[in-house]
Amino acid sequence: MLVMAFRSAGIDVGYVGGGLFADPKIPPAAIGTTEWIVAEVDESDGTIGNFSPSLTVLVNIDWDHPDRYRSQLELETAFAGLLARTKGPVLINSACALSARASQGCSCPYTFGEGGDYALVSHRVVGAEHIALKLGGRFSIDSATVRAFGAFNALNATAALAATHLAGVVLKTDMLSNFSGVRRRQGILAAGSGFVVIEDYAHHPAEIAALLAGLRDRVSGTGRLRVVFQPHRYSRTAQFLSGFSAALAGADALYLLDVYGAGESPLPGGSTSDLAAALRVEKPDLRLMHAGGSHASVYAQLYAELCPGDLVAIVGAGDLDVSARVWLDTFDRVTWWDKVAAFLADRVSKDTIVKREESLAGKTTLRVGGAARLYAEPTNETDLIELIRSAHLIGLRLLPLGRGSNLLVPDEGVEALVLSLRHSCWESFSLLGDGRLRVGAGLRLKNLCGLAAKEGLVGFEFLEGIPGNVGGALRMNAGAMGGWMFDVVESVEFVTLTGERQTMPKSAMHVDYRHCAELESAIATFAVLRPVSVGAAGPVIAGQIDAYRDKRKKSQPREPSAGCIFKNPPNDSAGRLIDAAGLKGAREGDAEVSQVHANFIVNHDHARAADVIALVLRIRAQVEKTHGVLLEPEVLLYGREWKDVL
């Protein structure tokens, strides 16, 4: 965090870390170009005695290496020496009495944390990845955002920002908002399929207790915190046996692996069997399994007991990270998704469709792609909200699907619950007076256009040829013939992806080209629309619709497509650039750049998503080479991000 804070301020510090950044593009060490170097000092081998820092940050003094320090006093003496040799400020945890004792006699001590000189007043969770800090004391800013979770990371971030300030750096609230994290420190191995797997290197009782307390806050509803733990070193296990049993008692279910010796020979009182015996005394009702060293047996038992909503923590500093990945690679996904489907079906009415492995190709206008692991069509708003809340409750990824007119579904399908408002209950069309309409999100745009024309309502004609529904048009602010969906919107009703029903006027929404920010994390259910004018003669409106229809037929292909593939760059047309690059008629398999409109890719019966993606890459490369313009896709890569394939 210190390294990232310095670098976000434009200061190219050198650094040597004890762990690897989660982002593989960031090396574990760098020389830097300034006078500062940030070093994580490991006291385990005694080299701490060779350091004389300009500034020292002391998070705590946990007795973690009894093989090196035979007593707590020896450890405290080592840290006291480090602080005494520090040439400038010393920054210690306000809650650590041992650190305070070690810092006695320092000429320039400061504290961080609750009630510290650099105070952490409070913290709260913001979204899925961030925590917001409220700061006080000597801080020059009163808040900060950190990409991490857990109270201990809030404290770590406070220390990093305080040290950065003491080093003379001007603080900013977003210095840690893009912190990449550290490998094997709260790293997410799996998420989105109805359970979450997190790995962490914690191998000391204090670390484990802090980790499990933080994870407990992330388990909701009927979910359980399941912990796979591998003790590290026989000496550490024997020395801290009671501490380990107290910390691990914070799990709902515990799966123990044999001690990872790290070169040590077994010691009396330091085995996993000894730890299991201590845990049975500490928490008799704990679900506890010890399979005598077999990683495969432990993970098989874990899988058999895993339920939707569970959070699995892979904890320890041994080799269990390798076996965890093997387990996930060989995970029986068929049986698991059957279990999740049954969980959802039990929570909605019998009329709501919940299916497994539902093909999505036929539900899109391009007619390519694989299946959804789970697919649902709610028959009423109650079931829709229940499905959304249930998905949120168990950590199941949820993807809305309209009429599929702007989507490219990958050939492998999507690992998610796909929700579609295709039932007739979502196709409502009601007059409210003054020409205003309340329409359902499932109403097709073509039908909306026709029904509005019958009522003499002007302003909806441009929707006639857009092959989507109201919900998708709102999400993408669909447009054609110079008109945009939000031109006729008064307000939108939607359900957030946490299951909260909201209504918002257009004036409060953030809408721009092919985008509505509020509907990125919500599903539109209804909208109130207002026409441009009321009372026009039917033939006049019909004439405008016919004119738009004729123009579309002449300028757009008839074969299956997803509409415009690329966004128009500023003051230019993507179709013109593609045509000028000589790409009309270019093919990959059965996917072709349309001969009618170059910004369309059409499907000649048997195209695959891979063909379309290959053509997208080819078009981008050729247009950039020819015109120096890098086109950005407009069509959505369903369930994935274009940045992962471009």
Residues catalogued as catalytic: 514, 564, 634
Two tokens, residue 241? 């046996």
Two tokens, residue 130? 């961030």
Q: Which residues are registered as beta bridge partners of 417?
A: 374, 398
* CA–CA separation, 142 and 528 (whole Å): 41
How many CA atoms lie within 13 Å of 262's alpha carbon, on the beta-carbon side?
Answer: 16
Could you tell me if 232 and 405 are in contact, meaning their C-beta atoms sit under 8 angstroms apart?
A: no
Q: What is the DSSP letter of 271?
A: S
Two tokens, residue 236? 């550490």
- Exposure string over 587-611, b if 16+ CB within 10 A, otherwise e: bbeebbbbebbbbbbbbeeebbbbb
* CA–CA separation, 511 and 6 (whole Å): 35
Q: Which residues are registered as beta bridge partners of 113?
A: 119
Q: What is the DSSP letter of 48?
A: G
Locate all alpha helices (DSSP H) within 167-240, ordered by sequence.
205-216, 234-239
Could you tell me if 272 and 259 are in contact, meaning their C-beta atoms sit under 8 angstroms apart?
A: yes
* CA–CA separation, 137 and 140 (whole Å): 8
* Residue 25 neighbours by CB distance under 10 Å: 6
| Distance of alpha carbon 4 from the chain centroid | 20
Residue 41: Cβ-neighbour burial (10 angstroms; 0-12, 13-18, 19+): middle
DSSP string, 482-528: TEEGGGSEEEEEEEETTS-EEEEEGGGS-EETTEEGGGGGEEEEEEE
Instruction: Tell me the pairing of strands 90-93 and 56-58.
Output: parallel
| Distance of alpha carbon 364 from the chain centroid | 26
Reported as type and span, the H/E element at residue 126 is strand 118-126
* CA–CA separation, 266 and 235 (whole Å): 8
Closest CA to 271 of 299, 240, 231, 228: 231
- Exposure string over 252-272, b if 16+ CB within 10 A, otherwise e: ebbbbbbbbbeebeebeebbb
Compute CA distances 499 → 194, 496, 502, whole Å: 16, 5, 10
* Residue 185 neighbours by CB distance under 10 Å: 18
Amino acid at 129: E
